[in-house]
Amino acid sequence: MKFAEWFPYYQGIRAEFGYSSEKDQEAAKILSEMIKKKALDPKVLQKKIKGKNIIVVGAGPSLEDGKALKYAKKNKKFVKIAADGAVQFLIENKIKPDIVVTDLDGDPAFLQKAEKGGAIMVVHAHGDNTTMLKKLVPKFRKLIGSTQVMPVENVHNFGGFTDGDRSVFLAEEFGAKKIVLVGMDFGNSIGKYSKKKVKDVELKKQKMQAGRRLLGMLAKRSRSQLADTAKKPVRGFAPLTIKP
């Protein structure tokens, strides 16, 4: 999605949540400066994703019922994109994430394990995570930077708001053949892999609903086959039932 197409959606999010576009832009510049010598070319994402079947693993509560694990293990050849905290679920269950999309809310130890195991790290900068950027980015060897505002050197805008829906926007951007959502519940419950500490549960739920709306928008323009294993699939995603 081109930045000009994405920006009106960002403006809506900024207005809804009271974010500062100036702080978001400053965070992007900070990340850009930090990764000058270790930024990956986004072409590595295209090579990994284009024409492939993708599983996007979110950190929703349905991860814990065993079906998501069964689906991921059954479809070994699918490229697996982990949304932030979901990387812990994959690693604990001996599944290698291929790509990790994170704003660094997830467990730092598992994020670092994923990177050392060969995952492409897509690290997101926004106005509220500059402290974590400064703390964790130096610990990664290579990464791709992302932002939700104007792109700057080595920091790209692929669209999306939460780690989960940004993962889907990423897969769409780089030409996935099929995108299957697993653990992307967007409901009223917060999964144990979602975040170490959720200070404001209602705000977290509001963010998830914004992510759901964005994916509904994306579905209308997507070139990929879209499927969702959640009990309440995102609008525009075909329901996919995982048998026990």
Question: What single letter denotes the amino acid at residue 11?
Answer: Q
Among 10-14, 21-25, 192-196, the least confident range: 192-196
Residue 68 pLDDT greater than 90, yes or no: no
Q: What is the model's pLDDT at position 177?
A: 98
What 3-state class would DSSP assign to 147?
strand
Q: What is the model's pLDDT at position 191?
A: 73
Report the CATH fold assignment for 3-34+41-239: sialyltransferase cstii, chain A (3.90.1480)
**What is the C-alpha to C-alpha distance for residues 222 and 1, in angstroms, rounded to an integer?**
10
What does pTM read for this prediction?
0.95
| Every domain of the chain and the residues it spans | 3-34+41-239
Q: pLDDT of 174-185, one tens digit each?
A: 999 999 999 999
**What is the C-alpha to C-alpha distance for residues 143 and 58, in angstroms, rounded to an integer?**
20
Dihedral of CA atoms 130, 131, 137, 138 in degrees, nearest 10, equals: 130
Q: pLDDT of 112-168, one tens digit each?
A: 999 999 999 999 999 999 999 999 999 999 999 999 999 999 999 999 999 999 999
What 3-state class would DSSP assign to 227?
strand
Tokens of residue 9, six digits: 């959606």
